[in-house]
Amino acid sequence: MAHATAMLDDDMMAPPRGYEQGMGVYNEKLGMWVFLGSEVMFFTALIGAYIILRVAHPDAWKPPGEVLNVPLTAINTFLLICSSVTMVKAFAAIQDGNLAGLKRWLIATVLIGAGFVGVQVFEYMHLMSVGFVPSEGLYGSTFYTMTGFHGFHVTVGVICMIYVTWRAFRGKYSAADHRGVEVVGLYWHFVDLVWIILFTIVYLI
């Protein structure tokens, strides 16, 4: 049904009732996990290409810290992890029915997430000003493609997060139904997870 309206006694966060036993979780959560599978493959293509090119032509890379700003990015990594914490605190808040907490933690997540993107943009501008551009050999090509698409995913995440925050302020979430919060949270943690891998292999190796 395109416009299903919930029955009063429906637990929206339980698996769909009246159907054969499925994955054991509600549709939106299953859908997001399945979608994240495709994102894993997308980053596999980009990160895989990087690993393969680096094995093929290791001389094209500089030692860690020589070109890229490791301390700044380490702080940025820490920021992104913080935003995962604020996200999960928002989720925990609404699980307990704490609407005020939900709003506070969501706003924190949006701000920190936007901050991460801001630092990345600043980093890009600095790097390009010293001549480290996408066309700067294999190093530049892989660096900008991987971190750029990650940054793009973070930006999309921030936009979705703003939408969820707006809905939270309109009172659309409750302890009984906060699917949107959980689902956007899953995406957000995934983006953090990818960065954990990226930070290690792009900046530290």
Partner 1 sequence: MEKAKHAHPNYIGIFFFLAALTAVELGVAFLPWPKMVLILLLIFLAIWKAALVALYYMHLRYEPNRLRLLAIAPLPLAVILVVAVTREFRW
Partner 2 sequence: MATITAPTAGHIATGEAHAHEMSFLRKYIFSTDHKIIGIQFLIMSLVFLLVGGLLAMVIRWQLGFPGQAMPGGGVLPDTMAPDGIVLPEFYNALVTMHGTFMVFFAIMPLLVGVFGNYLIPLKIGAPDMAFPRINMASFWIAVPAGIMMIAGFVVEGGHAAAGWTAYAPLSERADLTGVSMGQILWCISLIILGLSSILGSFNYITTVINLRAPGMHWFRLPLSIWALFVTAILVLLAMPILSGAIIMLLFDQTLGTHFFGPAQGGQPLLWQHLFWFFGHPEVYILILPAMGFASDIIANGSRKPVFGYASMVFAILAIAVLGWGVWGHHMFMSGMNPTLGTSFMISTMLIAVPSAIKVFNWLGTIWGGSVRFHVPMLHAVAFVSMFIIGGLSGIFMASTPVDIYIHDTYFIVAHLHYVLFGGSLFAIFAAISYWYPKMFGRMMNPFWAKVHFVITFIAYNGVFFPMHQLGLQGHMRRIFDPNEYEFLQHLQGINTFISISAFVLFAAQFIFAINFIASWFVGAKAPDNPWDDNGLEWTVASPPPHGNFATIPRVFRGPYEYSSPLVEEDFLPQNRELPPQPAASAAHT
Query: Hey, which residues between 122 and 181 contact partner 2 (CB under 8 A)?
Result: 133-135, 137-138, 140-142, 144-145, 149, 160, 163-164, 167, 172, 179-181
Query: Hey, which residues between 157 and 196 contact partner 1 (CB under 8 A)?
Result: 185-186, 189-190, 192-193, 196
Q: Which of 39, 82, 111, 115 binds partner 2 (CB under 8 A)?
A: 39
Q: Which of 30, 79, 119, 160 binds partner 1 (CB under 8 A)?
A: 30
For the chain, state the CA radius of gyration: 20
Q: Which of 95, 141, 145, 155 binds partner 1 (CB under 8 A)?
A: 95
Residues that bind partner 2 (CB under 8 A): 1-7, 9-10, 12, 15-20, 22-23, 26-28, 30-32, 34-35, 37-39, 41-46, 48-49, 52-53, 56-57, 60, 133-135, 137-138, 140-142, 144-145, 149, 160, 163-164, 167, 172, 179-181, 183-184
